[in-house]
Chain A
C-alpha cells in the first residue's frame, strides 16, 4: 500500500465506524470504509511482520478484501482515564501518577495525550494535546477525593477520541467498584461500539466480582489487566502502550453487507497457534440520525 493510500484510509477511519459510513455518500471517492485494530500474539508476545495475506476478515459472515495500514507513521491519541476517588490517596496516587508518566514517556513527538480523572465527579481536564508537559502537570496535580463512577469516566474518555485523527487508545485505571455512575454499563457499551478507540483497563487483582470494564475491553478489542499492587501499575501501562504499538490496522470497504445496524466481525490469522484480539463488531449508520 502506498503511503498516500494509508493516510487516506486512516483519515477516513478516524471517525466512529458508524460515522464513517454516514459520510460514505458525500466522500465516496475517498472512502475506504472500515478499519479494524487487531492485536496478534504468540503466547504473551505480540507478533510482528504479518501481511494482509495472513488475515481473514468477515463482516457479518461475508469475506472482505483487506489492506493492512502501516501504523508506524500514524500518531497515537492516548487518553488516560484515571480513578481519583478517595481510596487512591497515598501511595496508590503516587504509583498512578508514575504509571501515567511512564505511558507519556513512551509516546512519540507526533502522538497526543489527554487526561480524564474521575471520582463521582468527572474531570475531563486535558483534551488531546501534543503538549505532554501539560498532561504531566495535570497528572501531578491529582487530588484524590470522592466516590467512584467508572462507567461515567470510561464514557467521557471515549468521547475524547471521537472524530480525531490518529489511532485512539483509552486506558481506564481503577482500584475500586462503580458506586455512582449515571451511565449504565450497557449504555457505555453501546457508545464503545460506536467508537474506534481501543480500550484497555487496569484494575485491582482478586476483584470480588466481574467488572463491566471487561465488556468494554472485549467490545473494543482491548484487554483488561489486573495488578496485585499499585506498584505494578507502571509496568502495566508500559505494556499497554507496547501492545498498542504492535497492533495491525486492517482496512476494507464493506462488500456484500448492508450499511446499517450492528456488523459482526470475525478476524482470523491463517498461521496456526496465534491469538487474535479485535473488536467483535461495530455499529453502521447510513446517515446521521437514523440509528434508533
Chain B
C-alpha cells in the first residue's frame, strides 16, 4: 500500500463519520478554506495567523469534517446526512472548480508549512508538565499530531518541545495530488525547501519523518537524496553524538548485534524518546546516500566533498583524498572549495603528508582568511612539522581578530546546516513557484 493511500485512508477512516457532522465542524472547514484561499505564500497574513493560533480543540473540530471535505475535493462519491455536511460538500465543489483540487492542496500545504516556519522563527516553547501525548506506535492523524521531541542545545538536553502539527498535515495534503505527487515539480521544490529550513533550525526530530516521506514520494530526486544523506551525516556529528552517554553507546552496540540500530532512550516515563543512531551506523547510511546522489547527479560537488569527509571519519584516507581531489577539479564555489581543502588537508595529514596538508589548509585560508578552522589547521600542520614558529603564527592572527562569530566567518560552523545554509533562498523560490498558475 502506498503512503499516499495510507494517508488518505487515515484521513477518511479516522473521520469515518460515526456521528453526523455539526455546525461547528462545517464552520471549522469554512474558516480553514478561507485561510487557505486568502493566504499569500510566505506572508504573515490573517489566514496564517488564524492557523497559528488554533487550539487542539479547534483542530479536533476541523479534523472531524476534513475527511469528507477532502474526499469531495478529490471527486470521490460522498453523501451528506445533514445540513452541515451539505455545506461542506458545497464548499468542496467550489474549491474543486476554483482553484482546482491539486492547486488547493498545494496552497494548503504552503499555508501550513508557512505557519510552521513562522512558529519556529517566532519562538520555541519548552513543553511543561506530564505526558499528555505519550509515545505511541500508531501515529495520530496529522491534524491531531502533538508528539513531543527532545530539545537540546550545545550538547545538553534542555527539555521537550511539542512537534508542530503543521508539518505532517502539510505533507498529508501534498500526498493527495493526483495522480501522484511526484508528477508535480512543486512537490520536490517544497520538500527541499522545507527540509532545508528544518536543517537550518536543527529540527532533526521533525526532519526524520519529513525526509522519510520525501524519499517515498521522490525516491530519485537528487536534492531529496542530498538532504537525506546530509541528515544522516549530521546525526553522526559531535553536536548530536554527545547527547549519547557511554551507557547509551553500550546499549546501542548490544542492539546493533541484534539487528537494531537506533536507541529510543526515554528520558522519563511517558516522555519523548531520544532517537540517535550509532555514529558508524549513520555514517554508513550517509555514505551510501551520498553515493546515490552522485549516481543521480555527478555534478553535485558538495555531495562528493561530504562523502570525502565521511571517508575520513571512517579512516579510509586514500579514498577520501581521491574524492576530494575530484571535487576540487570540478572548481566548486568558494564555500564548497573551502570544505574540500580543509578535508583534503585532514586526509593528507592522516596519510603523513604534512606538506600537502599544509598546502590545502593554506588554500582554505586564502578563501576565508579569518576562518578559525583553517587557522587552527594551519597551526597544527606546522606543529606536526616541528615548526613551532609556524604553529604560533596562525594563533597570533586569531588573537588579532574580533571575538565574534561574524568576524571569524568560519564555514566550518555552518557545515552542519547542509542545505539549511540556503534555506531562505529555497523558501523564496518555493513561494514563487507556489504563486505560478
Contact = CB atoms under 8 A, between A and B. Distances in A.
A188 to B, nearest CB: 8
B154 A19 contact: no
Interface in A144-164: 146-148, 152, 155-156, 159-160, 162-163
Contacts of B398: 122, 124, 156
Nearest to A148: B154
Contact of B154 (A16, A147, A287): A147
A121 B383 contact: no
A176 B386 contact: no
A180 B417 CA distance: 13
Contact of B391 (A121, A159, A178): A159
A152 B386 contact: no
A179 B238 contact: yes
A15 B388 contact: yes
Given A181-B238, A183-B376, A124 B395 contact: yes
Residue from B385, B386, B392 whose CB has the most chain A CB atoms within 10 Å? B386
A162 B388 contact: yes
Interface string A75-91: 00000000001110000
Interface in A86-109: 86-87
Nearest to A285: B386
A121 B376 contact: no
Interface in B33-75: none
B384 A190 contact: yes
A22 B403 CA distance: 35
Determine the main DSSP class of A at the interface with B: loop
B242 interface: yes
Query: What size tier do the contact residues of chain A reach?
Result: 35 or more
B353 interface: yes
Interface in B350-368: 352-354
A208 B242 CA distance: 9
Interface in B378-404: 379-380, 383-389, 391-392, 395, 398-399, 403-404
Contacts of B155: 148, 176-179
B331 interface: no
Given A15-B388, A156-B395, A209 B372 contact: no
A106 to B, nearest CB: 26
A209 B384 contact: no
Interface string A1-44: 00000000000000110110010000000000000000000000
Given A85-B154, A124-B395, A292 B353 contact: yes
B156 interface: yes
Interface in B248-265: 248-249
Interface stretch (B24-32, B120-128, B180-188, B405-413): B405-413
Contacts of A87: 154, 156
Interface in A116-163: 120-125, 127, 146-148, 152, 155-156, 159-160, 162-163
A22 B384 CA distance: 13
Interface residues of B, number: 41
B289 interface: no
A121 B386 contact: no
A210 interface: yes
B373 interface: yes
Nearest to A284: B386
Contacts of A125: 399, 403
Nearest to B395: A159
Contacts of A16: 386, 388
Contacts of A187: 349, 380
B63 to A, nearest CB: 39
Nearest to A147: B154
Residue from B245, B352, B383, B392 whose CB has the most chain A CB atoms within 10 Å? B383
Contacts of B384: 190-191, 194, 291
Contacts of B392: 159, 162-163
Given A122-B398, A127-B399, A178-B242, A288 B386 contact: yes
A122 B401 CA distance: 10
Residue from B384, B385, B389 whose CB has the most chain A CB atoms within 10 Å? B384
B193 to A, nearest CB: 26
Contacts of B385: 288-289, 291-292
A208 B385 CA distance: 36
Contacts of A182: 342, 372-373, 376-377, 412
B244 interface: yes
A45 interface: no
A94 to B, nearest CB: 20
A289 B395 contact: no
Given A19-B388, A162-B391, A177-B155, A208 B404 contact: no
B383 to A, nearest CB: 5
Interface string A177-213: 1111111000100110010000000000000111000
A127 B400 CA distance: 12
A291 B352 CA distance: 9
B242 A179 contact: yes
B403 A121 contact: yes
B391 A86 contact: no
Interface in A238-292: 285, 287-292
Residue from A122, A178, A289 whose CB has the most chain B CB atoms within 10 Å? A122
A182 B381 CA distance: 13
A150 to B, nearest CB: 10
Interface of B: 154-156, 238-239, 242, 244-249, 342, 349, 352-354, 372-373, 376-377, 379-380, 383-389, 391-392, 395, 398-399, 403-405, 408, 412-413
18 contacts: A87-B156, A121-B403, A122-B398, A124-B399, A147-B154, A159-B391, A177-B242, A180-B413, A182-B377, A183-B376, A183-B377, A183-B380, A191-B380, A191-B384, A208-B245, A208-B246, A290-B386, A291-B354
Q: Sorted from nearest, which 4 A-B pairs have the closest CB atoms?
A: A177-B155, A208-B245, A182-B373, A177-B242
Interface of A: 15-16, 18-19, 22, 85-87, 120-125, 127, 146-148, 152, 155-156, 159-160, 162-163, 176-183, 187, 190-191, 194, 208-210, 285, 287-292
Given A162-B383, A191-B383, 7 more contacts: A87-B154, A147-B154, A159-B379, A163-B389, A177-B154, A179-B242, A182-B373
